[in-house]
Structure 1
């Protein structure tokens, strides 16, 4: 399948939400990661989509600013690929693109909740034991990638959102697009 990765645009909101619903199901908004993302904007320059040659949105990934127990970090997610495009390498391409962009922009650590066997190939390993997510989460799925070995040294506590808040007006405008 041929596709292109680009920065997410405000007009992508409806297609992105529809893709997430199809790929992740109706319970996706109950995840602990969603608590951190709710009401926030993704980190500047770190929201990406994959489009088919026809222009259809077939993949998405975003990164969010968080306080990781006193250390600045990013929370990655959700990463999603349209069901009809699974197994084509789009998810891996989005991951690599997001990781490279985060490192290029000077970020030092990325955290996520996901399947370790999938994310280990990108360099993720178990997050520091002293860190946790808000609400229930599976410890073995809480992973970290650091660009500097000391990036999460001393990090302890529950992840907190630190990114810019989204205004109701801008949310309504994005949904109207």
Structure 2
């Protein structure tokens, strides 16, 4: 059993350490991180999962971006501690956080389609992440039905 709650200021460095553990060195050099520079994550959707002993088991963050002129959520990073992987915690974090995203129409991410398709994510044609990003890994999910229709263009920082 996990306690899922909003990430707090006191969680930041522990969450960053989890991301460092779960992702390759240089993760912050990825193009998705350029979209996050100087932009605060969406606090209501950025969650942590702690076990009954208070130990951080997983975390997810979301960032506002623009696709062309349309607002969207960028899901990621999401990580589950290696000792907790395979328990369904990643899926729980995704579904819980998306269930809280009622103020948004659409969400996107860069990831593996076979994993994320089970949460309703599909390849986004015409949506361009800054290079270098494999277009086959640019995935989206509608929060509001039809919200990705006619949304195309370059993904830009929220403040841009």
TM-score (norm 1): 0.85
Residue 46 of structure 1: how far off its partner (Å): 1.3
Structure ranking higher in strand proportion:
2
Distance 1:61 1:147 in 2: 17
User: Which residue of 106, 121, 124 maps to 1:124?
Assistant: 121
| More displaced 10-residue stretch of structure 1: 25-34 or 10-19 | 25-34
Distance 1:44 1:21 in 2: 21
Once superposed, what is the RMSD of the aligned Cα atoms? 1.3
The number of equivalent residue pairs is 159
Which residue in the other structure is 2:133 paired with? 137
Which residue in the other structure is 2:157 paired with? 161
Which residue in the other structure is 1:99 paired with? 98
Which residue in the other structure is 1:38 paired with? 37
Once the two structures are superposed, the pairs formed by residues 1-177 of structure 1 within 5 Å of their partners are: 2-102=1-101, 104=102, 106-127=103-124, 129-162=125-158
Gaps of 5+ in 2: none
CA contact (8 A) 1:71 1:152 kept: no
Structure ranking higher in helix proportion:
1
Residue 29 of structure 1: how far off its partner (Å): 0.9
Distance 1:62 1:85 in 2: 18
CA contact (8 A) 2:75 2:109 kept: yes
Residue 44 of structure 1: how far off its partner (Å): 3.6
| More displaced 10-residue stretch of structure 1: 37-46 or 47-56 | 37-46
* Higher RCO (C-alpha under 8 Å, 6+ residues apart): 1
Residue 25 of structure 1: how far off its partner (Å): 2.5
What's the secondary structure of 1:92's corresponding residue? helix
Residue 19 of structure 1: how far off its partner (Å): 0.3
Distance 1:3 1:150 in 2: 33
Gaps of 5+ in 1: 164-177
CA contact (8 A) 2:7 2:43 kept: no
